[in-house]
Amino acid sequence: METWHPFAVHVPISLVLFWPVLDLLGLLLKRPDISLAGVLLLASALPATLFATVTGQSAFDAALAGGVSAELLSTHVDRGEVMPWAVLVLLVLRIGGVRKWGRPAHWVALGLGAVVVALVLSVGLSGGKLVHEEGVGVRLYREKAPR
């Protein structure tokens, strides 16, 4: 399952990055259909973050078994485990809050969305650093690669 993690993470990253763009455009242009497209991206991000987290746990276990220290992985793991919860809270606020409180809740959701975008970028950058600088998950390839 750990081999799916590099593929699984790119879906929630793209969904979380693009939903606020569409949602904001819909809000500014007073086009609920565009905002709805953004909300559908956000709703799709929830199962995608769950899948990325499950595959990430498998990748974590494999990395530990391969001799990578838990300390090296900790920042990425800690932030990654927050992602499904952050997306869930954001989705509830975006749908339920906007239905209950209208436009002000829409702006609050977009503001919180900026925080979640920063979180997803942080998780992605820390994962990229693990792979590209530390060789986590690619050590076997490096050991077998011709020199």
Does residue 105 register a pLDDT over 50?
A: yes
Using CA atoms in the order 101, 104, 110, 113, what is the torsion angle rounded to 10 degrees?
A: -60
Provide the residue ranges of all domains of the chain, joining segments of one domain with +: 2-144
Contacts 24+ apart (CB under 8 A), 29-37: 35/106
Does residue 80 register a pLDDT over 80?
A: yes
The whole-angstrom distance between residue 89's C-alpha and the CA centroid of its chain comes to 14
Does residue 141 register a pLDDT over 50?
A: no
Question: Which of the four pLDDT bands, split at 50, 70 and 90, describes residue 137?
Answer: confident
pLDDT for position 106? 96
10-22: per-residue pLDDT in tens? 999 999 999 999 9
